[in-house]
């Protein structure tokens, strides 16, 4: 368990989603527009469905902040579900007079069937509403608070899409924060204009064929100091905690750090980042094949993670399933859905990476007030002679 805790509550079509983030210091300035901007970015992307035309996600602060500054206690955030008005009978927290039909048609690739088995339920909706990726709106709200903490320490977290189905953007090994300045102007959040156009065309083609699409995105974190995380125990290794955070995002099936799969196919002399030193820069590496992590700790280079997302399991032309009430063959549940959410998943990836990195700073430097944290970071970087990447 980390120093920071992020807990979400709520269902996809319930009244609201709630996030509670604990463990941040007092004195951190939060900007309402910045939190809401990330929520709006999560709703972007070519291939989104009708739900995003209904929702206008905004984070309402219910506790832990006064006059735009954190107080040191738990921070409570709420994101209303506007679509709840259309689902009030089906998703009311309290009993209703009307008969609400149960859902008995689990979708292949979703939590539906296993969730009903695990919890002894008869209605698939009792599972799918919480398992839905709508839950990530609350994570993005909490991740926005973690981002504000990191920005105060000189750290930025960004993301971009590098693949949708078989359409892949050209590799970009050396990126800077400035490269991401206009990424959200792409309808698929891709840095390459030609690849972006091809991805949009691919989404349109497969959407007409009643298909959903997966892909790959990258998350980059800049400005990190060396030594976050630890080599001394498995649960303190930062690469493991980052991997778990990314894999916790709905539909993510794989994660890699740096050039993980590429270096698996070359000899050691071509796999590692050689170490150099000069009086101006101190220690540095000319390459970043390790993705900013060695021995479970940050090296000072950008942390680079890549995530693979499967196609969404809700299809407009449903796959075969089984009715859990009768065991008869049936088509899986069909509901309103997106065809591609890889660009949105990348924004969720930013939130999860930001949360884990913010926790790593809290573990290492503590501090009740933000000024205490900054002073501890300054003392540490002076001791190790760190001058920045």
The verdict on residue 389 lying in a domain is no
Distance, in Å, from the CA atom of 231 to the CA atom of 321, rounded to the nearest integer, reads 46
CB-based contact 119:341 (threshold 8 Å): no
Q: Tell whether 279 is covered by a domain.
A: yes
Tell me whether residue 296 is in a domain.
yes
Split into its structural domains, the chain has a count of: 1
**Angle of helix 32-42 versus helix 342-365 axis, rounded to 10:** 140
**pLDDT score at 53:** 57
Q: What is the mean pLDDT of residues 5-14?
A: 96
Task: Please give the average per-residue pLDDT across 29-58, as a whole number.
Answer: 82
What is the domain extent for residue 320? 5-384
Whether 1 shows a pLDDT value over 60: the answer reads: no
Is 334 part of a structural domain of the chain? yes
Distance CA 309, CA 162 (A): 12
For residues 188 and 348, the answer to whether their CB atoms sit within 8 Å is: no
Q: What's residue 316's pLDDT?
A: 83
pLDDT tens, position by position, 294-328? 999 999 999 999 999 999 998 888 999 999 999 99
Alpha helix positions (H), 120-192: 125-131, 136-152
Looking at the predicted structure, is the pLDDT value of residue 334 above 90?
Answer: no
Report which secondary-structure segment, H or E, holds 79.
strand 75-80
In a domain, 127, yes or no: yes
- The long-range contacts involving 231-239, CB below 8 angstroms and separated by at least 24 positions, are 231/295, 231/296, 231/297, 236/296, 237/295, 237/296, 237/297, 238/293, 238/296, 238/297, 238/298, 238/356, 238/360, 239/293, 239/296
pLDDT in tens, 97-129: 999 999 999 999 999 999 999 999 999 999 999
Query: Tell me, what DSSP letter sits at residue 134?
Result: G
Q: End-to-end distance of the chain based on CA atoms, in angstroms?
A: 30
Closest listed residue to residue 141, CA positions, set 222, 20, 49: 20
Domain annotation covers residue 370:
yes
Q: What's the rounded mean pLDDT across residues 336-358?
A: 94
Residue 251 lies in a domain: yes
Q: Three-state SS for 90? A: helix
Q: What share of the chain is helix, strand, coil (3-state, %, to 5)?
A: 35, 20, 40
CATH number assigned to the domain comprising residue 348: 3.60.150.10
- Render pLDDT for 57-87 as a digit per residue (tens, 0 to 9): 899 999 999 999 999 999 999 999 999 999 9
d(CA 105, CA 118) in angstroms, rounded, equals 16
95 lies in some domain: yes
């Amino acid at each position: 368990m980390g120093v920071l805790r992020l807990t979400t509550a709520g269902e996809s079509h319930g009244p609201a989603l709630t996030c509670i983030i604990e463990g941040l210091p007092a004195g951190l300035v939060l900007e309402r527009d910045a939190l809401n901007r990330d929520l709006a970015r999560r709703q972007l992307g070519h291939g989104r469905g009708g739900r995003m035309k209904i929702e206008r996600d905004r984070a309402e602060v219910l506790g832990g902040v006064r006059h735009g500054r954190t107080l040191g206690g738990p921070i409570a955030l709420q994101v209303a579900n506007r679509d709840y008005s259309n689902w009030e009978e089906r998703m009311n927290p309290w009993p209703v007079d009307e008969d609400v039909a149960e859902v008995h048609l689990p979708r292949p690739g979703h939590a539906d069937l296993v969730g009903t088995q695990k919890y002894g339920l008869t209605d698939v909706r009792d599972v799918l509403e919480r398992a839905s990726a709508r839950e990530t709106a609350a994570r993005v709200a909490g991740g926005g608070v973690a981002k504000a903490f990191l920005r105060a320490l000189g750290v930025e977290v960004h993301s971009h899409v590098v693949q949708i189905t078989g359409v892949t953007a050209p590799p970009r090994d050396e990126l800077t924060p400035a490269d991401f300045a206009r990424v959200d102007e792409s309808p698929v959040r891709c840095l390459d204009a030609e690849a972006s156009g091809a991805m949009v065309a691919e989404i349109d083609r497969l959407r007409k064929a009643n298909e959903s699409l997966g892909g790959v995105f990258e998350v980059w974190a800049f400005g990190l100091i060396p030594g976050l995380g630890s080599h001394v125990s498995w649960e303190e290794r930062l690469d493991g905690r980052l991997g778990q955070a990314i894999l916790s995002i709905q539909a993510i099936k794989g994660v890699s750090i740096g050039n993980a799969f590429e270096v698996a196919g070359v000899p050691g002399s071509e796999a590692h980042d050689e170490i150099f030193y000069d009086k101006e820069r101190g220690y540095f590496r000319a390459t970043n094949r390790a993705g900013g992590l060695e021995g479970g700790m940050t090296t000072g280079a950008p942390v680079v993670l890549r995530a693979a997302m499967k196609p969404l399991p809700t299809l407009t032309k449903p796959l075969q399933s089984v009715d859990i009430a009768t065991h008869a063959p049936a088509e899986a549940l069909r509901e309103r859905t997106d065809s591609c959410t890889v660009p949105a998943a990348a924004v969720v990836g930013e939130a999860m990476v930001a949360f884990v990195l913010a926790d790593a700073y809290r573990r290492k430097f503590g501090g009740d007030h933000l000024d205490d944290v900054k002073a501890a970071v300054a003392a540490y970087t002076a001791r190790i002679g760190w001058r920045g990447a």
